[in-house]
Chains A and B, each alone.
Chain A
Amino acid sequence: MSLQIDALFIVGISLFTAFLGEGMTYLLVYRTEKYKKLKAEIEKQTKKLEKKKEVLGEAIDKQQKKKLERDEERLKNNNRDLSLVKMKSMFATGFAFTALLSMFNSIFDAKVVARLPFVPISFIQGLSHRNLPGSDFTECSFIFLYILCTMSIRQNVQKILGFSPSRAASKNNSIFAQPGQFK
C-alpha cells in the first residue's frame, strides 16, 4: 500500500507547489499595475494585428507592409517587457522549488513510487529510473512522476485561475512565430 500512498502523495505535492507557485506569481507579478497594463495592451494589439492581417490578406502594398511591421515590432517590444516583469517571480519560484525539490528528492531517494505500465524510451529512462537500483525500467522514480504531475496540474491551475495568456498572444510570442511575415 505504501507505493500507492507515495504516488498520491506526489500528486498532492504537485498540487501544493502549483498553487504555491501561482500564489507567489500573483503576489509578485499578476497584481501589479504594470503587468495588468502590459497584458491588456498585448491582448489588444494581438487582436488588432490579427484582424489587420485577415483583412489585408496577401495583396498588400509597401506602405501597409511597413505599418504592419511597425505594429509587429511594438507587439514584440511589449512581449519582451512582459517577460522582464515576469522574470523576478520566475527567479523567486525557481529558488523556492529547487529547495523543495531537493528536499523531496532526498525523501524519495532510491524509492519506487509507482509502476509504469510501459517501458519508457531510452532517453527518458534516465529520468524515469533516476536513483533507482536494478534494471527494471517499469519502476518509476519520484522525479518522473512529479514532472508529469506538474505538467498536468500547473497548466490546469493557471487556466482555472485565469492566469494563462490568451492563445493569440502566446502564439505570437512563441518561438515558432514567424517574425516579419510581411517582409
Chain B
Amino acid sequence: MASKQSTMDKSKPIEVSFSTLMKMGLSSKTEWPDTEIFLDWIYWSRQIVGLFLGLIWGVIPLTGFIGLIAFGLCSSGYVYLYCTTHNIDDEEHGGIWEIVKEGFMTNFASFLVTWIITYSCVHFDESLTAQQL
C-alpha cells in the first residue's frame, strides 16, 4: 500500500502496514521519514474524515451548496490543522498546497457518495410520506 525509503538503503522501498500508518499518524511524536508515507497518512485519514462528514451531513441533514462548501472547508481545514498541531514542516513534503490537495478528488467523491446515500436512506421516505399526507 505504502512505500517507504529505508534509512539503510534510500533507493529500496519498504512496506508500511495500514495499522502502523495509523499509529504513526495518531502519535504526536512521529518523525515522518519519507514524504510518500506522510502523504499516505494524509490520504487515508482524509478518506475517513470524508466518510464521517458525509454521514453527519446526511443525518442532520445539511443540504445545498452550504454542505459542499462546509465539506471543502472542513476537509482542507483538517489537513491544515493536522500540519500545524503536529509541527509538520510542509516544505519538506512539497509545500502546504501539495499536502492540502493530496487525495482531494477521491475524498470529495467518497464524501458525496456517503452524503447522498445517507440523505436518501434517512430522509427520503419521510419526505415522501409528508408529501403524500
- Enumerate chain A interface residues (CB-CB to B < 8 A): 1, 3-4, 7-8, 11, 43-44, 47, 114-119, 140, 145, 148-149, 151-152, 155-156, 159-160, 162, 166-167
Contacts and interface: CB of A to CB of B under 8 A. Distances in A.
29 contacts: A3-B124, A3-B125, A4-B121, A7-B116, A7-B120, A11-B117, A43-B13, A44-B11, A114-B117, A114-B120, A115-B119, A115-B120, A115-B123, A115-B127, A116-B116, A116-B119, A117-B67, A118-B64, A118-B65, A118-B67, A119-B64, A145-B113, A148-B112, A148-B113, A152-B109, A152-B113, A155-B106, A166-B36, A167-B39
* Residue of A11, A44, A159, A160 with highest tally of chain B CB at under 10 A: A159
Contact of B1 (A8, A43, A160): A160
Contact of B11 (A47, A119, A140): A47
* Residue of B1, B64, B117 with highest tally of chain A CB at under 10 A: B117
Given A145-B116, A156-B110, 10 more contacts: A4-B120, A11-B117, A115-B123, A117-B62, A117-B119, A140-B116, A148-B109, A156-B106, A167-B35, A167-B39
Contacts of A152: 106, 109-110, 112-113
A143 to B, nearest CB: 14
B1 A162 contact: yes
B61 interface: yes
B43 A166 contact: no
Given A152-B109, A162-B1, A117 B61 contact: yes
Contact of A7 (B1, B64, B109, B117): B117
Interface of B: 1, 3, 11, 13, 35-36, 39, 43, 47, 57-58, 61-65, 67-68, 105-106, 109-110, 112-113, 115-117, 119-121, 123-125, 127
B64 A117 contact: yes
A156 B11 CA distance: 26
B116 A148 contact: yes
A97 B26 CA distance: 39
Given A1-B125, A148-B109, A166-B36, A117 B1 contact: no
A71 to B, nearest CB: 16
* Residue of A115, A117, A167 with highest tally of chain B CB at under 10 A: A117
Contacts of A117: 57-58, 61-64, 67, 115-116, 119
A11 B63 CA distance: 22
A46 to B, nearest CB: 11
A156 B47 contact: yes
A164 to B, nearest CB: 9
A160 to B, nearest CB: 6
A159 B35 CA distance: 16
